[in-house]
Structure formats: structure tokens, C-alpha cells
Amino acid sequence: MSRQKLGQHFLARAAILERIAAAACPDPRPQPLIEIGPGRGSLTARLLERASRVIAIELDPSLAAHLRARFAGEPRLEVVEADVLATDLARWGCLPIAGNLPYYIATPILEKTVRLGVPRAVFLVQKEVARRLVAAPGSRDYGFLTVQTALFATARLLFEVPPSAFHPPPKVDSAVVLLEPRAGRWGIPDPDAFLAFVSLCFRQKRKTLRNNLAEACGKALVDSWPEAALRAEQISVEGFVEMYRRLPPARLLSDSPRNTPSAG
């Protein structure tokens, strides 16, 4: 698989690399950290200046070999040649995570890492994805990914990154986001069941909750809700939690497969 197919755009601007490293390692006492998609090691070098140890997970065999050669004299770097989506990140403990995420798999990586409850995750992602992570209800970027992320973490857009900061330059703008764990997770005991419900709400984004939920949750029940005529994009995370708690046990969807929303 070519590097272009892997969606690799290597961040080259030193000032931005420093800002990402500082956000990922804010504690003056060095601590271990996981890096996803280290590429040629530009961010890795900055992280090693601040972390006590870096576990770098790289899918591309040639890049993994390059990292081992470049940092051959650095015992604090562990290069793991693996698919991050198939890797148990908890095997190293509850560590901060950083990385320049390949655009084509950024969303599944976010979905995986946000559940880990790590102290912080700092990711460089496509600006469109960053906007979805921090979007407010009623905005065009607000959707299932927003709510899913907010269930497990608080998200903050730290700064934007122009295409000129990469080699080769991507055709889109990028941004750096900070994810920090959310205590209590809104009091939801079964996150998967809750997200299955939210997914149904967003199943057809332009339709009302009444249309999206009537079949699964019962038309009479949904019609009794004050939100029935609203669209999912108009509902806050607190609103979804409140609606979910109104469902009788038989409607909690804990055994239902999660449907993929049409957008958002």
C-alpha cells in the first residue's frame, strides 16, 4: 500500500510540532506517552524531549524501519509496527495519546481512543472533523460524532494548521484538538445502548425525532415528548440523556446493533 493511499501528509513546520508536543506533555515531570502515526518521526523527536518514554505505533513497515534507524540510540522509544485499530492501547496503561491522524481513519481512531479515559489526547485532524468534535447543537457540524465524543470526553479545538505546514500539502485545512476524560459520563450505565439510541435519532438527519424513533421506540411514546418535532441536530447532549432515560427498560436497545447515521 502506497503512502499516498495511507493518507500520509507529514507535518514539517517546527513551531506547530512544538505546540502539539507542549499540549500533549504539559506536565514538567516527564511521563510516558503513546504516539499514533509517527511517520518519519518529526513529532516523535519533540515528544521525546518532554516525555519519559514514547510508544510509537506505525502501520507502514518502511516508516517503522526508518524510525528504528533514526532513533537507534534512543532506548526511551518503542516502535510498534501495527494497525492502531487492532491494537490494545491499554496494554501500556492509561497513558496520554498524541498523533497526526491519517484522514481516512481519523474517525474510527477517535471513536476508539475516546473510550479509554486517558488523561489527555492531542490529535491533528482534518479541520472538518475537529469542527464536528466541538460543534454546538443547531450548527451544521453537530452530529453523532459530537455526541459520542461528548459522552466520554470534553473536546477543545486548540489551533488550526494550514496545508503549507505539511509535506506534501493536503487539499484541506487541519486543526489540533484536545480531548480530556469526562467524569461520570453523564450517569449513563450502558454507553453502547445510549449510543444506539442516539444513532437512531440521527439515522436520517433531516427528519424529525418522531420519524426516526417511532418504529424502534413506539410512536405513542415519542409523540408524547416535547422534542418529537425537532431534529436530532437541535438536541443537546443533556437532551439526549433525558430522552434516553424516559425509555422503558424494554426499549433501551441494549441488545440492538448500532445503526450508522446517514450524516454527522
The predicted structure's pLDDT at residue 252: 59
Report field, pTM of the whole predicted structure over 0.75: yes
Q: Which tens digit of pLDDT belongs to each residue from 9-42? A: 899 999 999 999 999 999 999 999 999 999 999 9
Question: Which range is least confidently modeled, 1-5, 73-77, 225-229, 231-235?
Answer: 1-5
Percent of the chain surpassing pLDDT 70 = 92
Is residue 259's pLDDT more than 60?
no
The predicted structure's pLDDT at residue 261: 53
The predicted structure's pLDDT at residue 254: 46
For the chain, where do the domains classified as CATH 1.10.8.100 start and end? 191-251
Is residue 52's pLDDT more than 70?
yes
HEC profile of the chain: CCCCCCCCCEECCHHHHHHHHHHHCCCCCCCEEEEECCCCCHHHHHHHCCCCEEEEEECCHHHHHHHHHHCCCCCCEEEEECCHHHCCHHHHCCCCEEEECCHHHHHHHHHHHHHHCCCCEEEEEEHHHHHHHHCCCCCCCCCHHHHHHHHHEEEEEEEEECHHHEECCCCCCEEEEEEEECHHHHHCCCHHHHHHHHHHHCCCCCCEHHHHHHHHHCHHHHHCCCCCCCEHHHCCHHHHHHHHHHCCHHHCCCCCCCCCCCCC
The predicted structure's pLDDT at residue 87: 98
Specify the CATH number of the domain 10-184: 3.40.50.150
The predicted structure's pLDDT at residue 255: 43
Is residue 253's pLDDT more than 60?
no
For the chain, where do the domains classified as CATH 3.40.50.150 start and end? 10-184
The predicted structure's pLDDT at residue 2: 39
Homologous superfamily in CATH for domain 191-251 = rRNA adenine dimethylase, C-terminal domain (1.10.8.100)
Q: Which tens digit of pLDDT belongs to each residue from 128-140? A: 999 999 999 999 9
Average pLDDT over residues 181-206: 93
Percent of the chain surpassing pLDDT 90 = 86
The predicted structure's pLDDT at residue 111: 96
